[in-house]
């Protein structure tokens, strides 16, 4: 475990350096660290943001200084508190995590060329044909690694390795809501109109973020996700 500054008002707890080698285990460990930190409610900590291999801790440096004192500096003080909070997982915890089967949610995706702006780019990079990409992507088993970037953006783990495609050199300024993309070894869904650098291969008609609901997101970290390829007609009927 590594604790690295993210500017002067946040830090990143890197639970593991790599993700691809054992994603299930990594994800469970990240979620466990997230829960431990949430429960610890360390004074001065404002909020937490889990990601694939890390949990970011946003803090108010002035509040940390006032509540803990900081003879060794704000960062070291907080890092020490965090280290003592993150105790190694007990055997019981591991058993319990394994027993708590996460829910499975199906997401319909239309891989129509009109939605998959970057299918050609992915094809060129992966040396796979369009139908092969769609088949591989829609039959994979995924888990929600984290929600972030913009409200409700769903980062998924489990992208078949041969689909990995580097992010675009220049991010797009605007991406249509529901767009499904590949960014490096990750895949994810853009819930809202937003900028973004991932390669777009399809679109879902589902609303992944609804600010009038609590919680506002359809998916949560840890959820299992399966995709179902749908036609353009089905897409339209599910949208209306």
Partner 1 sequence: MNAVVIRAGFLTSVQDLGRTGFRQFGVSTSGAVDSFALRVANLLVGNNESAAGLEITLGGLQLRFEDERIVAWCGGEFDVQIASRALPAGHVAELQSGDELKFGNAQFGCRCWLAISGGIDVAKRHPVLRFVRGVDWSRFDDVTIQRFTNQEFAVSPDSDRMGLRLDGPELKRKHEADLISEAVAPGTMQVPPSGKPILLLGDCQTIGGYPKIAHVITVDLGVAAQLRAGDRVHFSEVSLEDAHCLLLERERDLDRFRIGVSLQRS
Least distance to partner 1 from the beta carbon of 60, Å? 9
130 is a contact residue toward partner 1 (CB under 8 A): no
- For partner 1, the binding residues in 65-84 under the rule CB under 8 A are 65, 73-75
Least distance to partner 1 from the beta carbon of 82, Å? 14
Binding residues for partner 1, how many (CB under 8 A)? 43
Residue window 165-204: x/- pattern of binding to partner 1, with contact defined by CB under 8 A: -xxxxxx-x---------xxxx-------xx-x-------
Least distance to partner 1 from the beta carbon of 104, Å? 23
Tokens at 192, concatenated: 């809202």
If the CB atoms of residues 58 and 224 are measured against partner 1, the closer one turns out to be: 58
If the CB atoms of residues 94 and 197 are measured against partner 1, the closer one turns out to be: 197
In this chain, which of 27, 31, 37, 52 binds partner 1, going by CB under 8 A? 52
Q: What Å distances lie between residue 210 and 5, 61, 153, 200, 215, CA to CA?
A: 32, 33, 12, 22, 8
Other Cβ atoms less than 10 A from the Cβ of 88: the count is 7
Least distance to partner 1 from the beta carbon of 35, Å? 17
49 is a contact residue toward partner 1 (CB under 8 A): yes
In this chain, which of 43, 61, 160, 176 binds partner 1, going by CB under 8 A? 61
In this chain, which of 109, 123, 146, 159 binds partner 1, going by CB under 8 A? 146
216 is a contact residue toward partner 1 (CB under 8 A): no
209 is a contact residue toward partner 1 (CB under 8 A): no
Print the SS3 string covering the chain. Answer: CEEEECCCCEEEEECCCCCCCCHHHHHHHHHHHHHHHHHHCCCCEEEEEECCCEEEEEECHHHHHHHHCCCCCHHHHHHHHHHHHCCCCCHHHHHHHHHCCCCEEEEEEECCCCCCCCHHHHHHHHCCCHHHHHHHHHHCEEEEEEECCCCCCEEEECCCHHHCECCCCCCEEEECCCEEEEEECEEEECCCCEEECCEEEEECCCCCECCCCCCCECCCCCCEEEEEEECHHHHHHHHC
**Residue whose token pair is 């979620």:** 31
If the CB atoms of residues 3 and 230 are measured against partner 1, the closer one turns out to be: 3
Tokens at 83, concatenated: 């280290």
10 is a contact residue toward partner 1 (CB under 8 A): yes
Contact positions vs partner 1 (CB under 8 A): 4-10, 12, 19, 49, 51-54, 56, 58, 61-62, 65, 73-75, 146, 148-150, 153, 155, 164, 166-171, 173, 183-186, 194-195, 197
């Amino acid at each position: 475990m590594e604790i690295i500054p993210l500017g002067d008002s946040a830090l990143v707890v890197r639970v593991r350096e790599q993700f691809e080698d054992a994603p299930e285990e990594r994800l469970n460990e990240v979620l466990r660290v997230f829960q431990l930190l949430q429960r610890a409610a360390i004074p001065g900590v404002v909020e937490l943001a889990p990601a694939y291999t890390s949990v970011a801790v946003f803090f108010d440096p002035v509040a940390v200084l006032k509540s803990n004192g900081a003879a060794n500096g704000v960062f070291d003080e907080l890092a020490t508190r965090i280290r003592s909070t993150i105790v190694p997982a007990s055997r019981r915890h591991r058993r319990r995590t394994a027993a708590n089967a996460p829910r499975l949610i199906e997401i319909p995706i239309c891989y129509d060329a009109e939605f998959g702006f970057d299918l050609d780019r992915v094809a060129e990079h992966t040396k796979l044909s369009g139908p092969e990409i769609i088949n591989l992507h829609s039959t994979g088993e995924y888990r929600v690694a984290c929600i972030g970037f913009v409200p409700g953006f769903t980062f998924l783990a489990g992208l078949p390795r041969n689909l990995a495609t580097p992010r675009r050199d220049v991010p797009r300024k605007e991406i249509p809501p529901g767009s499904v993309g590949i960014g490096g070894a990750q895949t994810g869904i853009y819930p809202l109109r937003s900028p973004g650098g991932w390669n777009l291969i399809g679109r879902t008609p589902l609303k992944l973020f609804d600010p009038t609901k609590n919680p506002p997101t359809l998916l949560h970290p840890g959820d299992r996700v399966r995709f179902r390829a749908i036609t353009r007609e089905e897409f339209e009927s599910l949208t209306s």
